[in-house]
Structure 1
Amino acid sequence: MFNQGWQKLSEQTKQDANLDSRLVCVQEAVRFRYEQTDDPGHDWLHVMRVLKSCKQIGALVGADMQILASSALLHDLINVPKNSPKRSEASTAAAKASEDILRNAGYDDIEVQRIQRVIIEHSYSLGYPPSSIESAVLQDADRLDALGAIGIFRAATCGCRLGAAYYHLDDPFASDRVLDDQQYTVDHFFTKLLDLGKQMNTAPAQAIAEHRVSFLRDFLTELRLEIVETAFGDFPN
């Protein structure tokens, strides 16, 4: 019995070591590419945040970390601008670009196919429902990064890259106009971000999203106070 237990432990240790070594190979192959981007919303820091969320959520829902962690490292390997007509093709291109990297790191055919499917399905633009728990977790982790404090950074960055103003001068919160997040960054909160919390696949992500969406609402309340409700001279002596 002792020998059998030791054998199982030894096999698990080898599997864990193999997981780490292959992930290191993938990380070394892609980090430089992410660090060269001029988009801080999809850079190496973004990938590390998504990977961290994947590990935390994946451990709670029983995801295959071999597949999930590799998918997280590769999910934005090809980044297409938000306003490009080919935006929805980004995740498919990233999945294709990941194949040689994964094979060189030692992943087999089945693993490569699973990882590629997870990468493709993470895309918000495509709107594919997750076909696996790993896809569900990567979708959640990537979308969580669009919320909270980081989400505000990313929304402002994206707006600037699109040439958008922060808000409409006469109607900042679109009381009497159609929302247009290509022209006004604050509109993006209402066209997408505030609804992301309702789109999470897993219970852990739902809980995190609820907190981060609440933070976004607090931010919008403060913004309204600063640009709409408070006039010069209204401050107490």
Structure 2
Amino acid sequence: MTNQGWRESVVAYIRVEAQPEDKFGHQPRLYVLATQVGQGMDFDDDILFAAAWMHDLGVFLGHRPKDPGQISQWDHVPYTLRRSRELLTEWGFPPEKLDGVEAAIRYHRATDKPTTVEGMLIRDADILEQLGAIGILRAAVKVGRDSRYPNFSSIVPVLSNAVNHLANETRLIGSKPMAESRARMLRSFLDAIYHEAGDMLH
């Protein structure tokens, strides 16, 4: 395997394991977003790529608990950290960069405070993925499939939180304009829901 062959292994593995299937697109989009946000910044692209592609492993079917009660309490990050280190090592990822991948994944959520540049990039990119048209699609696809979201009305608070709070949580200069643009689109969508359905959305 070439020095970069591990990337092919990562993509091939996530392509199979990202279930339900619609979850696959989040990984390549996240990596591209993170690189766009990071333009002009000094970051390690190997760490960024591995973290972006592996960060949600523990939320995929077959990797998370099946029981709805357990899912509601499931913290996928510890599992993702452990399996990512095992798999990346198996695929020939540079061992000296494994701690960097772990740091980026550990603190990738909006409520976290990343300790590395790669972590900051992944975190801001992950917030961007919850805004705009992509944020709408990612929320809507859960309706009726995720026990937490039985109907359309149940995802409105998720989208409202994204536009009213998450959009202001990005920290890097490169992500601010993107967050503002996506937030405007999402706010327009929520306004349209209210005008078209009022309290009859269900």
TM-score range (shorter-chain normalised) is: 0.7 to 0.9
Give how far 1:141 is off: 1.1
Instruction: Summarize deviations over 1:171-214 as a string: whole Å, max 9, x none.
Output: xxxxxxxxxxxxx2212223344311111121111110100000
CA contact (8 A) 2:58 2:79 kept: yes
Query: Is there any run of 5+ residues in structure 1 with no aligned partner, and where?
Result: 1-16, 168-183, 230-237
SS of equivalent to 1:22 = helix
Task: Give distance in 2, aligned partners of 1:207 and 1:143.
Answer: 13
Task: Give distance in 2, aligned partners of 1:226 and 1:148.
Answer: 19
Aligned to 2:10: 26
SS of equivalent to 1:85 = helix
What is the count of residue pairs matched by the alignment?
A: 189
2:121 to 127, 137, 143: 137
Instruction: Summarize deviations over 1:144-171 as a string: whole Å, max 9, x none.
Output: 111111111112223432243323xxxx
CA contact (8 A) 1:57 1:205 kept: yes
Task: Give distance in 1, aligned partners of 2:163 and 2:21.
Answer: 19
1:225 to 192, 195, 199: 195
Task: Give distance in 1, aligned partners of 2:46 and 2:122.
Answer: 13
CA contact (8 A) 1:54 1:137 kept: yes
Q: Where has structure 1 moved over 6 Å in runs of 4 or more?
A: none
Higher relative contact order (CA 8 A, sep 6+): 2
Task: Give distance in 1, aligned partners of 2:198 and 2:17.
Answer: 43
SS of equivalent to 2:12 = helix
SS of equivalent to 1:204 = coil
Give how far 1:220 is off: 1.5
TM alignment of 1:102-141, pairs within 5 A: 102-124=88-110, 127-141=111-125
Give how far 1:98 is off: 0.8
Give how far 1:39 is off: 6.3
CA contact (8 A) 2:140 2:155 kept: yes
Instruction: Summarize deviations over 1:104-159 as a string: whole Å, max 9, x none.
Output: 222343311211121111134xx320101100000111121111111111122234
SS of equivalent to 2:58 = coil
Aligned to 1:66: 46
Percent sequence identity is: 24
CA contact (8 A) 2:48 2:118 kept: yes
Letter in 1 for 2:114: P
Task: Report the RMSD for the aligned CA atoms in angstroms.
Answer: 2.3
Give how far 1:51 is off: 1.4
Aligned to 1:158: 142
CA contact (8 A) 2:124 2:171 kept: yes
Structure number, greater radius of gyration: 1
Residues 69 and 220 (structure 1 numbering): CA distance in 2 closer, same or farther, change over 3 Å? same
